[in-house]
Structure 1
Amino acid sequence: MDTRTGKRQTKKKRKWPYWVGGIIVLLILAVGLYLYYLYDKVEDTVANMHEPLSRDADPDRQKELESIVKNKKSINVLLLGVDQREHDVGRSDTMILMSLNPRTNKMIMVSIPRDTYVEIPRRGMDKINHAYAFGGTDLSVKTVEKAFDIPVHFYVKVNMEGFKQGIDALGGVTVKNDQAFSQGGETFKTGSIHLSGEEALKYIRMRKEDPRGDLGRNERQRSVIKAAMDEAASFSSITKVSDILSILGGNVTTNLNMDKMQTLFTDYRDTRKNIETMEIGGSGDVINGVWYYIVPEQEMDRITQAIKTNMKEN
């Protein structure tokens, strides 16, 4: 063999590891830059979502909340699903109270019927969902705290249009449906069904055909939310993260900042694996020509004690 030819072949053999190494370095840089972009976008999104309650301006309260989260103590979160329309303050169409205990990895999820007859601070007795129309998120939180005699540490408010878009971004959710029904032109069969965002919104809004009325509707809301949490926790398509962040930024507000949100994701997310759902028993009654959902005092006490017990368990 020609000595020069042998040398050229040897050089080619030596070059290919450098090419491969260069490609790997470029890939690492590209992934790193994309992750940095996502992290930067997350920070921007969370900053856009951040809307403290008026009482959150108190430094002592902030220290208390930071201590609770840092020491992995139980927290209570109020989820508000708001049907917000143009030139209208909106209504809290969905109210779900969640109690998360990271030490026992347990969550209690309570759906609050929107017509529940309670005392709204400085407004008197009325439907609980009217608190949002009277005083926004601040008054909704205060009303829930007063009704159940428990603290609400954080809130998350979701525009229902954003809820629909978020479900689509996750690729839909799968739930188990116990009752066949039709709603808004869609037919929902019994058994395991996969829902798009539009279908999920129709699924959780039906109550007229449900023999359990609002209670059945609330149960469907909880099942969709649990399915969405599971989808989000196992979400692996990083290419869609940017889309999800854009949806969240325009449709979700919360008093959780970036640090607290990160801590909740790492220290509290396993509570979703052990969820106890609770219904609030009551009966309908007409007072001064208006229909209300009347909850006996002992029933309110039952819910309160369950949440307080969950908060104390170690």
Structure 2
Amino acid sequence: MGRKKRKIILIMVLVLLLSVAGFIFSAYVSLHQTLNGILNESALEKSEKRPQKVSLKNKDGFTVLLLGVDEREGDKGRSDTMMVMSVNGQDHSLKVVSIPRDTRVNIAGKEKVDKINHAYAFGGVNMSAKTVEEFLDIPIDYYVKVNMDGFKDMVDAVDGISVNNVFAFSYDGADFPTGNITLNGEEALKYSRMRYEDPQGDFGRQTRQRQIIQGILDKGASIDSMWSYNDILSTLKKNIETNMTIHEIKTIQKNDAVASNNIKQEQITGTGKRINDIYYYLVPEEEKQRVSSIFKNHLNIN
């Protein structure tokens, strides 16, 4: 899967997970088995930037590190996609920022400057989270790790999604006419990937990505899709890992389900540069502080 396809995929996965969990929690015992199967509470140590544990019951703001990982046999893999999501439990809003994989940072626990996506290869989920905490000076409370090769199956598991395409274009062998169109998993990835032909550039691509998120939510919440839930749950179990417990997922869904309709995507700006013949994405200190302040304010922390 190409890197440009990955940007919004992780948001879809988390929103799909929470949506499906809330909708069929009381109806299917298999959901409990699935959520237990993806649970790994030991992968992420408690953040030192959190004096007290987040209280979802009190609607505290919290963060989720979303990792898209390509793991092959005999290779631990790298986090080719890394996003931070914050949820404000009071106003039910959600902010997301994608951290470019080539961002040059200090790798927490390694005393080494390297690309941020190498943190996962060095120390898995925990080192990735601690590196992000140091980079943005915010706590990481939860994580969701996704095997990106399996995402197409998640879209297909809801039997396709519908979007309203505002202009016709072709991309990577697929044609997308104007109007209401139905997309399978592979087509959805291509629809979300195209940027250069869009008059609005990356902003237009983000709009299409949000369409896909909403399409998954609409289809997942439809009574007509109940017969597909076994496929959805099976796909989730094979391709997702998280430290969110069943109780936490249920609480988040109950408290913050409407946040999926109030998403603000932030951007980290920087410049590309070759250092010792290696390409890095360099983020100025003032830019890191700017993004950090946005998320601290959203989380209501100092």
What TM-score comes out, normalization by structure 2 length? 0.78
Q: Would you tell me which structure has more helix in proportion to its own residues? A: 1
CA distance in 1, matches of 2:77, 2:168: 30
Report the counterpart of residue 123 of structure 2 in structure 1: 135
Q: 2:145 aligns with which of 157, 175, 178?
A: 157
Deviations 1:157-208 (A, max 9, x none): 111122111111123334557794522x33456776543112233455668x
Q: Could you tell me which of 19, 25, 28 is aligned with 1:39?
A: 28
Structure-2 change in CA distance of 1:187 and 1:137 (3 Å): farther
In the TM superposition, residue 79 of structure 1 has moved relative to its aligned partner by 1.1
Equivalent residue runs for 1:160-309 within 5 Å: 160-174=148-162, 180=169, 182-183=171-172, 185-188=173-176, 194-204=182-192, 219=206, 223=210, 226-227=213-214, 230-231=217-218, 234-236=221-223, 237-309=225-297
Answer whether contact 2:49 2:138 (CA < 8 A) is retained.
no
Query: 1:118 — aligned with what?
Result: 105
Q: 2:61 is matched with which residue?
A: 74
Is the CA contact (8 Å cut-off) linking 1:80 and 1:155 kept in structure 2? Answer: yes
- Report the identity percentage: 39
CA distance in 1, matches of 2:230, 2:131: 35
Q: CA deviation at 1:44?
A: 0.8
SS class of match (1:84): strand
SS in 2 for 1:266: helix
CA distance in 1, matches of 2:276, 2:178: 39
Amino acid at match of 1:288: N
1:286 Cα shift?
A: 0.5
CA distance in 1, matches of 2:131, 2:202: 20
Partner of 2:18: none
Please list the CA deviations of residues 266-306 of structure 1 after superposition, one character each: whole Å capped at 9, or x if unmatched. Answer: 11111111111111111111011011111111111111111
Query: AA paired with 1:301?
Result: Q
The residue type equivalent to 1:306 in the other structure is I
For residues 178 and 123 of structure 1, the distance between their equivalents in structure 2, rounded to whole angstroms, comes to: 49
Whether contact under 8 Å (1:106, 1:274) holds in the other structure is yes
The CA deviation at 1:90 is: 1.8
1:52 to 35, 41, 46: 41
Indicate the SS of the match to 2:28.
helix
Q: 1:74: how far off?
A: 0.5
For residues 217-266 of structure 1, the C-alpha deviation after alignment (integer angstroms, 9 at most, x for no partner) is: 98489536633663366343221111111111111000001111111111
Q: TM-score scaled by structure 1?
A: 0.75
Post-superposition Cα deviations, 1:125-174, rounded to whole Å, max 9, x if no partner, equal: 11111111111111111111111000011011111122111111123334
Structure 2 counterpart of 1:146, from 103, 119, 134: 134
8 Å CA contact 1:205–1:217 kept in 2: the answer is no
What amino acid maps onto 1:124 in structure 2? K
Amino acid at match of 2:29: D
TM-superposed CA distance for 1:81, in Å, is 1.4
Aligned length: 273
Q: 1:83 aligns with which of 64, 70, 75?
A: 70
Gaps spanning 5+ residues in structure 1: where?
Answer: 1-34
Aligned counterparts of 1:48 and 1:215: Cα–Cα separation in 2: 36
Distance in 1 of aligned mates of 2:139 and 2:82: 15
CA-to-partner distance for each residue in 1:62-96, whole Å, 9 max, x for gaps? 9944x521211111011111122222212212212
**Partners of 2:56 and 2:254 in 1: how far apart?**
11
Q: CA RMSD for the aligned pairs? A: 3.4
**Which of these two proteins has the greater Rg computed from alpha carbons?**
1
